[in-house]
Amino acid sequence: MILDKGQLLKTEQMFRDAGEQWPVIIPEEKICQAAPGTKLMCLAGLEFDYINPYDSASRINKMIMPKFITQGDPPSSPWYALNDVGSGSHVHLGLWDNGKNVFMASGGHPKHGMSKVGEKFMAGVLNHLPSILAFTTPLPNSYDRIVPNMWSGACQCWGKENREAPLRTTRPPGVPNGVVSNFEIKAFDGCANPHLGLAAIIATGIDGLRRHLSLPEPIGK
């Protein structure tokens, strides 16, 4: 599926005429994933409202999803085929203070490649993960997707670049060896309300900071 730039701009103008802010979205590439009909889309030229990224995410979903449906692709159902992997909306989360990544460790010999602040925040998310699922995986169908060997995070654990873990730290290209820049939450799907889901994640991370929680040892691949 290729999103036509003219159609995108026409849709954007419609929302601007209605008085809404709309990010300019230019698709760079579409990558087919493991499950039939599941696609990962890379977008360029996003003018996000960084004060409220949840609204930006919702608007992008509203803009793109009808195009998928009209071309016969499945919508954002978490799991729609027996014995196959489902479709999630994984969240990558970092911590920033005055333009500095404070999740990533700096100097010395950091444990797990993250700062103390980053570890406490992530430990809070891990500690409250079963409760978070009420907001991030809201439908019965959501739990059909979360099973072992489906890269969906079926166990309450974390890992380093472990795609089976519900929480995993990541080191994108350009990040020095030995440190990580953010962590991914896999137990999140397209049926979740992004405002409630991300609010739950942030609240539990703050609880980890307040209670000075620490992470257990990571689970290997």
Ramachandran angles phi, psi of 27, nearest 5°: -75, 130
d(CA 107, CA 115): 10
**Residue matched to tokens 């992008």:** 60
**DSSP sequence for 53-106:** HHHHHHHHHHHHHHHHHHTT---S-S--STTS------EEE--EETTEESSB--
- The alpha carbon torsion through 145, 63, 168, 177 (nearest 10 deg) reads 150
The pLDDT assigned to 166 comes to 92
**In the chain, where the domains are located:** 5-70, 91-211
The pLDDT assigned to 68 comes to 58
The pLDDT assigned to 65 comes to 63
The pLDDT assigned to 150 comes to 76
The pLDDT assigned to 42 comes to 55
Ramachandran angles phi, psi of 8, nearest 5°: -60, -45
Per-residue pLDDT of the chain (221 residues; tens, 9 = 90+): 334 445 555 555 554 554 555 555 555 556 666 666 566 665 554 444 444 555 656 666 666 666 555 555 555 677 666 677 777 777 888 898 888 889 988 766 578 889 999 999 999 999 999 999 999 999 888 888 888 877 788 889 999 878 889 999 988 777 878 888 889 998 888 888 888 898 899 999 999 999 999 999 998 86
CATH: 3.40.50.300, 3.50.50.60, 3.30.590.10, 3.40.50.1370. Which one for 91-211? 3.30.590.10
